Structure 1
């Protein structure tokens, strides 16, 4: 198995493992995480996925996202990938979990049990160019306008969970 993902049931409980690409071809439910970093001005740090990603290349999305490795605590995986993708560290808090299913035009299927984390940092990212094409900080009002005007520029999972992330963020600050 090249790179594996953790297969879970609808409650997020471990069932087994599978090769990442096999899971995305077959649509097996697997564990994932999404990280949202805000700065002290309340702007959200977005990344534009590298153009050659296996799906959603070039689309804008949350600060970072990936899958934990077998035996890795999801919280630790989120911190690891934040460093690997965006070259930054931040104190993270898990906000919620949700499941989503999306089939892409290239035949790959996202069927993920996603753990959503949030942090606040003014550290400037140093993105890994193999993972990230670009990044930007954006005011949430401007982001909501862009999502209405140009929804196809954003990843499916980002559009699904953003509203709940923002509701939680505004309760915390």
Structure 2
């Protein structure tokens, strides 16, 4: 396996067994399955912190999505990766818990495709973030039912992957509370 930097992703099979690495853009161009994580941060009012992606991002600029997401580095646990990226994007860190994982595929209009073995990580934080302007244009807290209603009303305002993972995450929360 090659050295994994911020520009490389870990290619995996359908069981999350590592197959090697590939440059991130190439993996997205070829729709190669790779490991990823998505962080969902809640406050004590059970509101989810959303971020609006920076307007300079190479895909889905200006769209709303979960608190942060990215790709693990070699030999980095999902929680370590989530904490690292939370600090890099949102300017804070907090405890994270791994919940569910699943595979999804989301093509973009620019020809790139997210094909990810995604781990959802959940944490709590009650202060304002200090977002990195190269990563984040804006942020807000929203109740889950308001997010769900807004996605139905304004689907083009949200990243494709967020619409997929939000539904999976919401369903898992309902299952675990019964």
- TM-score computed with the length of structure 1 as normaliser: 0.94
User: Hey, what's the Cα distance between the residues in 2 that align with 1:153 and 1:65?
Assistant: 17
Structure 1 position 169, deviation (Å): 3.9
Moved over 2 A (4+): 166-172
- Which sits farther off after the overlay, 67-76 or 39-48? 67-76
Superposition RMSD in Å: 1.6
Counterpart Cα distance in 2 of 1:156 and 1:94? 22
**Ranges in structure 1 where 5+ consecutive residues have no aligned partner:** none
**Aligned equivalent of 1:136, options 129, 134, 140:** 140
TM-score, normalised by the number of residues in structure 2: 0.91
Asked if residue 54 in structure 1 is aligned to residue 48 in structure 2, the reply is no
Matches within 5 A, 1:137-152: 137-152=141-156
Deviation for aligned residue 1:164: 3.0
What SS class does the counterpart of residue 166 from structure 1 fall into?
Answer: helix
Deviation of 1:162 (Å): 1.2
Matched, 1:101 2:99: no
Structure 2: runs of 5+ lacking an equivalent: none
Number of residue pairs the alignment of both structures matches: 173
Give, in angstroms, the shift of residue 166 of structure 1.
2.6
1:129-160 superposed Cα distances (whole Å, 9 cap, x missing partner)? 00000000012221111011001111111111
Partner of 1:12: 16
Q: Where does residue 88 of structure 1 map in the other structure? A: 92
Partner of residue 127, structure 2:
123
